[in-house]
Structure formats: structure tokens, C-alpha cells
Amino acid sequence: MRERVKDRPFSILYLSRSVNEAVTLRSQLRNQGLQASVNHAPSLEEAVIQVGKSVPALVVLDFEGHAGSLLDAMNHDAAAQPLFSGLPKIVLCDLNDDTQILPLYDMGAYAIVTSEARLMPVLLRELVAAQTAEDANAFRRQLASAEMRCQKLIDGSSEAVAYLQDGLHIYGNRAYLDLMGFNVLEDLVEEPLLDRAIGESAARLKSFLREEEGTDEFELRTEGGDKIKVIISSSKATFDGEACLQLFVSRKQQNSAEVEEQLEFFARRDLLTGLYNRNYFFDQLHERLEVLRDDDSEQGMLIMLDIINHEALKKLVGTTGVDSLLTEYGKELEALVGGRGLVARHGAYSFLVLLGKSDVAQGETLANSLLGFTKDYIFTIGTTSATVLVALGLVLLDSNSPQNGMELVVRAERASSKAAERGTNLMELFKPDLRTASDQEMEESWARRIKDALKESRFKLAFQPIVSLQGRREVNRFEVFLRMLDEEGNALRPMEFLSRAERGDLMGAIDRWVVLSALKLISESLRRGEKVKLYVRVSEQSLRDNEFGQFLMNRLASVRLPEDSLIIQVRAELAGYLLKHLEMLRDTIAPLGCGLLIDGFGEGAEPFRLLDHLKTREIKVSRTLLERFSQEAGNQAAVTKLLNESNAREIEVIVPNVEDPATLQLLWPMGVDLVQGDFIQSPRDSLEFDFSQF
């Protein structure tokens, strides 16, 4: 062990009352051929001064029974702690009792030496450990410096290089971003490379990434939707100190065997401009629409760019000149769009752009870039120069879009025409005209509005109290109503958006939002010491959906509500068609604090036959029986009969639509307990009501 430290100078700080021990230790080390320097410190204050000037390899404490207090001071003294933290500390003492020795280790002692004869081997061992740690830190700094130099070379390399961790991108240089069609690194980070693999390449790429080293050929799809064949070489590496996989990626070079594929490539291109032609563009558009149809989170953008001064250009530069202009201008457009999308020639003087992944803001940003370029673009032929005036039409693509690509292009044409009517070098986002829009366009528009409202928290709840005329105030009851705000913050009529949501299969998402919001309110009330019972309506679409039942069960299990804190209201006519399904749902959610209520109860010859099968404990009287209640004796008799039968069955009855004092005066002597209506209080935005007034 002595051989490992004899060629390297080192220093030791020796804390003791007498300098003699430090001198003796220095002599012993020098006699063994070690380049040792032993500095003496009679106190912690002097030790702090010496360590502040020169950091020793290790510290020896020879203060007998005071070693513990010294170690404690090194750990907690404001001046000493930063200096001594991490320094190896050897304690010399005459202790043999573990109850005294073991606490010294807890206070930071690396070794406890109870005999001076053992000091030298322990000292040499700790010196070797300290020098090894110092070497390791030096190597780490060298490695970090080398990696930084390599990273700078990779950043500027023309070869595409990427780093992956667990299959996810963590870095790609400029050449790789350009190859894969990304503008900035942030768009690439955390994206799985496997998602880019096409066809049989996916399975091979998955195995390839597990091997950590190798070279193989794969077919990938760029961000803009292009298919490219690449050769990938991989090797193990580190990035920012983390183990990862380094990839070198290059396009596969063509050979004679690919001539047929090259011919097919040209079949996709417009012969004049070299851009993609209409047929290939529509094929790609249809593929993208199929992906969007099954994924609500994905969006794309279709852009029509129309040259609106083509007649003036033809007079200025001639037909041949216009052809040259279209070729040059089209290539510039393709370069601007890059890997983000496809550019195709559409009509004689128009182009189409398909952005595979883009929301409205991103599409408008690109459109502004195209307009900015066009404003500065000057075409020159011979001694004649010409400028281009355009109009852009934008169409959002998502799961609500029609699968007919031609219909979408027609919309883009309508939007570009509208932009042209307003002026030159302007753009217009397609929106249905309420006066002329088709039913399909209106349904699409409403579906997007509803989805946006969910994303932007523009759905709100309103609450109407249900009061007890018998003075039962152990729980505050409210029926929950749904409200949607438009883009300007104005409330829409429920039937205006609910019917659209039902036709667009969006009620499931809305019902989940209502349930989650209601559960949150109940939990918050319980934390405040208030017991609240909320009655919510759920659509037929959700009640028929087994996944909604599972969702409801999972959420209820996570919050653990008191009994009957949340009540699902089911219309009587619907319950008759869903008896088995509702029975299973009731049995599942009842132990979790949720129950069922039959709404609209009391119509028909034998309404209670429904309760013989679906044994719910609460009903709400049909609003039909409450129309003109104070004037209609027949309705009063029907409600009285319903109440008597319910009391016999121990079923709780809620009477809604109490709109005037006359109705309330008639209900009171009938023995009605729970009532609600605008006479009591119309729906409000909060759970606020003075139940003590009833």
C-alpha cells in the first residue's frame, strides 16, 4: 500500500494539544520514503485557518475524549462545516467501549484507531482512498471536457447524429433535425424513434435498439409525412453524464436496383414544378385523415396558396416566364415548409400544403412565414422583374373532419377566395358561414367548440338546492346543472350544445368532467366539515358504456365518499330499457357512496313496477304532473297517490318545479318532504343556500 502513495506528495492536518505527535508522525512517514507534510493545529479555530489556506489529504484528531465534540463542531460550525465536509477523518483514542466508539462514526469519523501501532496502516489506507477519489474526479473532469469538445463537433457536423435514452430522443444535431423534418430540438425531445418506423421496420428497429451496437437499414416517416430509407449505426455512449445510445443516420444511396422506385417517385411529381402532384397529395391527405379519425389529440392543417395576379404576370413575363416563376416559387415554398409538411401543385396557379401535425396557431405561423416570403419575393427574367400577390386559405384537420379530401380542398379554396376579397397577401381560416353552412360543417364546428371548451375549462356547474320541508338538515342537497360558455364568455343554452354533443359522441367526455367536478366539490365540503349530497345527470351514451361504469367505480374508490353522497339521475323511460345494466351499476357503486335516482317518475299505469326490478331508494316526480299544479286537481290526486305508495315502500320522493307559493302550500299538507324549484332558488354558481329557512 505504501508503494501506491510514495511518489505523490500529500499533506496531513494533525489536531492535538501538543505538536510533538505531529512531528513524530512526519518523521515516520518520511522514514518510509513518503513525501509527507504534517501540519499541526492545537485547536479547531487554527485548523479552520490552515484548511482555508491549503486542503489536506486527510485529518487526524488526537484529542482523546474530546474527539466527539471536535467532530460535532466540524459538522455544525458555520466556518468549519464547508471546509471539513468530505475530508477523511481518523480519530486516535484509548477507548474500548463500543457505546463510546460507534457514535464517532455517526459524526463522520472514517476510522477509529485505539492503538498507535495501527495508525500507519490505517493512515496509508485512507491516503490511497483519498488519492483514488481525487484521480477519479480528475478523470471525470477530463471526460466532461472531452465530451464537450465532441458535442461541439457533433453540433456542427453535416452527418445526422442523435442520442436516445430508453428509446426516446434526448438530442439531435441540426443535420438530424433537418433530416427528420423538425424545426427545433424541443419538438424532437422525448419523441420515441419507434413511432417513426414504417411497416416491418418497426419490429426490426425495436430489436436493433436493444442490441446497443450495430448497423442496419430502416424506413422512417419524417415529421412532415415523407417516407425515407436510412442506414443507422448505433453505439453505447453518455450524454450529460447519463448512459444512452448514439445513432449515426444517413439516407440510403440509390443503386440500379432502385430505378423502378425512382420512376415511381417521378410519377408522384408535377412535371413542371417538381413538386408533388395532386394524386400523390390526395393519397397522403387520405392517410392522414384516417389517423386523425381515431385520435382526438392529433391535428393537422391544410393550406391553399393561390396566386391571384396571374393574369397580370402572364402579360408581364409571358406564358413561358410564368412557368419559370411557378417552378422557382414552388421550390422556395417547399424549402420553407421543409420536413414539416408536403407541398403540391394544385391548379394552374395554386399550391397545396399539408402539415401532418399542426394546430391552428402553428398553421397560422407557417402561413405568415409564407406570406412574409412572398412579399419580399421578386422574380426576374431577362431585364423584367415581377412580384407575386397571393391569398391563403387554411383548414384545420382533426377527428371531426370529413374523410372526403376533395371536400376539404373545396373549403380551402373558399377560405382563400374570402382572403382575396379582403385584399392581397392575406390569409383566412375556414369557418362555416351560419347562413350557408351545411349540416356536416355545423356539426364539425360544434364538435370543435365543445372540445375546446373542455380543454379551456369553459364548462361550469350550477346548483339548485333541494330542501326538506320536514326540517331534515343533516345534509345539504343540490341538483347539479351543466353550463357552457362560448369563446366570449357568454353562457349558452344547455339544449343548444347538449344536442350537438350527443350527435358528436362527446357526451361521454362531458359526463366524466361533470362527475370529476362533483366529486371534487363533495371532497372539499367534507374537509370543511360540511356534508353535501349532489344529484347529477348522466347521458344515455355513458349509461350504456361499460367503460364509464368502470371509470365511475375507480373514481369513487379513490375518494371514499360517505353513503349516498353522489346520486346519478336516470330518466324513468330510459331505465326501463337498461334494467339489467343499471342493476349491476347500482350494486357496484352503492358501497362506494353513490346511488341511483329515477327521474320523471309517476307517469303510466303502473310506474312502481319499475321499482320492483330496480330497487332504488329515491325518485323524482315527473314534471308533467306538476304543470299547472295549483289548478289541476287530477295532477294533485296523482301526486298524492304516488306519495302514499312511496311512503309505504320507504322511498324518498323529490318534487321538482316548485315555481310559485301556491304549489308549495298544496304540497306541504300532502306530507311532501323534499322539494326544489325556482321559487325556492334558481340554479346558482356556488353551493350557497340558507337551508335553515325551511
Convert the pLDDT of each residue in 241-283 to its tens digit.
Answer: 788 999 999 987 755 455 566 666 667 888 888 899 988 898 8
Query: Which CATH number characterizes residue 180's domain?
Result: 3.30.450.20
424 shares a domain with 500: no
> What's the whole-number mean pLDDT along residues 585-600?
91
pLDDT of residue 148: 64
pLDDT of residue 262: 62
Give DSSP secondary structure letters for 384-450: EEEE--EEEEEEEESTTS-S-HHHHHHHHHHHHHHHHHH-SSEEEE----TTT--HHHHHHHHHHHH
225 shares a domain with 366: no
275 shares a domain with 381: yes
635-658 as b/e: b if 16+ CB within 10 A: bbebbbebbeebeeeebebbbbbb
Inform me whether the pLDDT recorded for 3 exceeds 90: no
pLDDT of residue 23: 83
- Residue 443 domain-assigned? no
pLDDT of residue 192: 93
Nearest of 345, 464, 342, 326 to residue 388 by alpha carbon: 326
Give DSSP secondary structure letters for 265-282: HHHTB-TTT-SB-HHHHH
520 shares a domain with 594: yes
75 shares a domain with 27: yes
> What's the whole-number mean pLDDT along residues 413-436?
85
Q: How confident is the model at residue 150 (pLDDT cuts 50, 70, 90)?
A: low
Give DSSP secondary structure letters for 216-273: EEEEEE-TTS-EEEEEEEEEEEEETTEEEEEEEEEEPPP-GGGHHHHHHHHHTB-TTT
Q: Are 561 and 522 in contact (CB under 8 A)?
A: yes
408 shares a domain with 345: yes
- Residue 606 domain-assigned? yes
Q: Cell numbers of 228, please?
A: 425515407
Q: Are 517 and 457 in contact (CB under 8 A)?
A: no
Backbone angles phi, psi at 628, to 5 degrees: 50, 45
What residues have CB less than 8 Å from 111, skipping those under 6 apart? Answer: 90, 91, 122, 125, 126
- Residue 445 domain-assigned? no
CA distance 640 to 149: 89
- Residue 70 domain-assigned? yes
**Quick check: helix, strand or coil at residue 570?**
strand
383 shares a domain with 289: yes
Inform me whether the pLDDT recorded for 132 exceeds 60: yes
What residues have CB less than 8 Å from 200, skipping those under 6 apart? Answer: none
> What's the whole-number mean pLDDT along residues 325-334?
93
Q: Per mean pLDDT, which of 9-13, 54-58, 292-296, 377-381 is the most reliable?
A: 377-381
271 shares a domain with 295: yes
Q: How confident is the model at residue 4 (pLDDT cuts 50, 70, 90)?
A: low
Alpha carbons within 13 angstroms on the beta-carbon side of residue 67 total: 30
**Model confidence over 637-677: pLDDT tens digits?**
889 999 999 898 999 999 999 988 888 888 888 888 899 99
Query: Which CATH number characterizes residue 674's domain?
Result: 3.20.20.450
**Range of 395's domain?**
266-431
Helix 44-53 / helix 67-76 crossing angle, nearest 10 deg: 50
Out of 400, 431, 462, pick the residue that ends a domain: 431
556 shares a domain with 422: no
What residues have CB less than 8 Å from 659, skipping those under 6 apart? Answer: 677, 678, 679
- Residue 27 domain-assigned? yes
Least confident residue range of 26-30, 499-503, 588-592 = 499-503
- Residue 258 domain-assigned? no
CA distance 678 to 449: 30
**Model confidence over 518-570: pLDDT tens digits?**
999 999 999 998 999 999 999 988 888 888 989 999 999 888 888 889 999 99
pLDDT of residue 516: 94
Inform me whether the pLDDT recorded for 431 exceeds 60: yes
For the chain, what is the mean pLDDT? 86
Of residues 453 and 301, which shows the higher confidence score?
A: 301
Inform me whether the pLDDT recorded for 149 exceeds 70: no
> What's the whole-number mean pLDDT along residues 399-417?
86
CA distance 175 to 242: 23
> What's the whole-number mean pLDDT along residues 125-131?
81
Q: How confident is the model at residue 402 (pLDDT cuts 50, 70, 90)?
A: confident
- Residue 448 domain-assigned? no
654 shares a domain with 589: yes
Query: Which CATH number characterizes residue 24's domain?
Result: 3.40.50.2300
Q: Are strands 160-165 and 242-251 parallel, antiparallel or unpaired?
A: antiparallel
Query: Which CATH number characterizes residue 271's domain?
Result: 3.30.70.270
Least confident residue range of 54-68, 192-206, 424-438 = 424-438
- Residue 648 domain-assigned? yes
First-to-last C-alpha distance (Å) of the chain: 91
Q: How confident is the model at residue 577 (pLDDT cuts 50, 70, 90)?
A: confident
104 shares a domain with 77: yes
> What's the whole-number mean pLDDT along residues 609-622?
89
> What's the whole-number mean pLDDT along residues 38-58?
86
pLDDT of residue 296: 73
DSSP letter (8 states) at residue 54: S
pLDDT of residue 256: 46
Of residues 198 and 613, which shows the higher confidence score?
A: 198
Q: How far, in Å, are 316, 318, 389, 687 from residue 312 at the CA level?
A: 6, 9, 10, 67
Out of 431, 466, 490, pick the residue that ends a domain: 431
pLDDT of residue 347: 87
Nearest of 613, 663, 609, 615 to residue 639 by alpha carbon: 663
Of residues 497 and 343, which shows the higher confidence score?
A: 343
CA distance 594 to 607: 23
Least confident residue range of 95-109, 360-374, 438-452 = 438-452
CA distance 209 to 193: 10
Record the pTM: 0.48
> What's the whole-number mean pLDDT along residues 378-393?
92
Out of 194, 222, 253, pick the residue that ends a domain: 253
Inform me whether the pLDDT recorded for 494 exceeds 60: yes
**Quick check: helix, strand or coil at residue 7?**
coil
Number of independent structural domains in the chain: 4
417 shares a domain with 479: no
Q: How far, in Å, are 10, 69, 639 from residue 102 at the CA level?
A: 29, 14, 83
Q: Are 231 and 250 in contact (CB under 8 A)?
A: yes
